[in-house]
Structure 1
């Protein structure tokens, strides 16, 4: 690099003028290219360090020995009596559950580490609870003051992912919690 600077200075003092401009642009292009590559590398590392909920679900939905339950569409009609009993306007359109209890320790650890990296702008964290051997996360996707999806993540020795899709208000969840606490 010092030789190029010397040549540029030498060419400015008495050398060829177009050669000087060519070397200057060549140096600027290299610096610009290095700066852009560093920025791209940083962006790539950041995107790998975070994972969306959909990516997490898809990765482990077909894992070996995972118990997967999906209720949606016509099966969701079974929830209508439940919603009529516990509150007005509370409707569930689908439930998806992944239970990794029967999976190998390697799969469980991979799920736990990926769930720790979960960063999804669509979801708002409602609860984070850390205990000695278990971590629990409750996330909600809220649109127009209504909860459209509720996600419960349990991390630890028995990892579980529960997604409840529907249309309900936060007050409906509070009603369900109060009903369970009162023993009704």
Structure 2
């Protein structure tokens, strides 16, 4: 949407909705062979009745392992060049041709969004939204090293 077309004060919203991470998800979500699994809304409410969801309200996982090599190459290049100041980088690693980035969006001492981006031969994008305490992430990491 053109910035001049927005009412005054709405430009920030348009800029936010067009972050490079969000654009990465949009650009590759509908590629042939891409698999998307999403759990949100009613399913998360149902899950809360059986387990502590640690403040998670929505999870989306995109797997690109079944995509053709051209799609994987474009995605890997997009991951390599990804820079997004609206997220804080928690982890960025590159090992044996596989690149992984873990990004977070924090507001009022809570993780509102956690993004895991993995490149290589079996690339994947994961988006977790919610109202998550950082210590809950730490405890999950300790439980599942």
TM-score of Structure 1 vs Structure 2, range by shorter chain: 0.7 to 0.9
Aligned residue pairs, count: 126
Tell me the distance in 2 between the aligned counterparts of 1:118 and 1:79: 33
From 36, 51, 56, the counterpart of 1:92? 56
Q: Which runs of 5+ in 2 are unaligned?
A: 1-18
1:156 equivalent to 2:120? Answer yes
Larger Rg: 1
Q: Which runs of 5+ in 1 are unaligned?
A: 1-50, 85-89
1:57 equivalent to 2:25? Answer yes
Give 1:70 shift.
1.6
Tell me the distance in 2 between the aligned counterparts of 1:148 and 1:91: 9
SS at match of 1:63: coil
Alignment of 1:4-19 (within 5 A): none
From 42, 66, 78, the counterpart of 1:74? 42
RMSD of Structure 2 on Structure 1 (CA): 1.4
Alignment-derived partner of residue 73 in structure 2: 109
Give 1:115 shift.
1.6
Give 1:78 shift.
3.5
What TM-score, normalized by structure 1, do the two folds share?
A: 0.65
What TM-score, normalized by structure 2, do the two folds share?
A: 0.81
With CA pairs under 8 Å and 6+ residues apart, which has the higher RCO, 1 or 2? Answer: 2
Tell me the distance in 1 between the aligned counterparts of 2:143 and 2:46: 20
Please list every run of at least 4 consecutive aligned residues from structure 1 whose deviation after the TM superposition is greater than 3 angstroms: none
Give 1:179 shift.
2.0
Q: Name the structure with the higher strand share.
A: 2
